[in-house]
A = this chain, B = another copy of it.
Amino acid sequence: MLSKKSKYAIKALLGLAEHGSDEPMRIADLARQESLPQKFLELILLDLRNAGVVQSRKGKGGGYLLARPAERIMLGQVVRLFDGPLAPVPCASQTAYVPCADCADEATCGVRLAMKEVRDATARILDQTSLAAVRRKQAAAARKGGRS
């Protein structure tokens, strides 16, 4: 399951992407626009900032903006930041490998072999899907749904 943090983070980033990179967007506005609990969103944005995904400015006229073009912010980084490794089991993770304590022979562990395929498929998708790509999908879906 995707945590609320990841979900809210993606929504917030999409909101920032839509807002544009000219001037910062305030937390309060972002929370209202995306229907996110503001105080919770603050924590999320803080994590995103510490990870270098967004930038912030304090004081009047301050707020948040994307730290780089939406084309270069991948969902994989966001999901890993809040939910940890993509792999269903730690021993199948590429970026955060941890061996199983109990596993007798990892190389031939059935669970690991199957879950490695899942993790690879997930990583292929999330590491190649940028915020900009999501926005394009949204636009395409809107066009499709709109022809009634």
Contact = CB atoms under 8 A, between A and B. Distances in A.
Interface of A: 1-2, 7, 10-11, 14, 35, 75, 84, 88-89, 102, 104, 107-111, 113-115, 117-118, 121-122, 124-126, 129, 134-135, 137-138, 141-142, 145
A122 B109 CA distance: 19
Q: Is the interface of A mostly helix, strand, loop or mixed?
A: helix
Contacts of A108: 138, 141-142, 145
Contacts of A135: 110
A113 B88 contact: no
B142 A113 contact: no
* Total copies of the chain: 2
Given A10-B114, A114-B129, 15 more contacts: A1-B84, A1-B89, A2-B88, A2-B89, A7-B111, A10-B110, A11-B110, A11-B111, A75-B114, A108-B138, A113-B134, A113-B137, A113-B138, A117-B129, A122-B122
Nearest to A102: B35
A125 B121 contact: yes
Given A108-B142, A125-B121, A142-B107, A114 B134 contact: yes
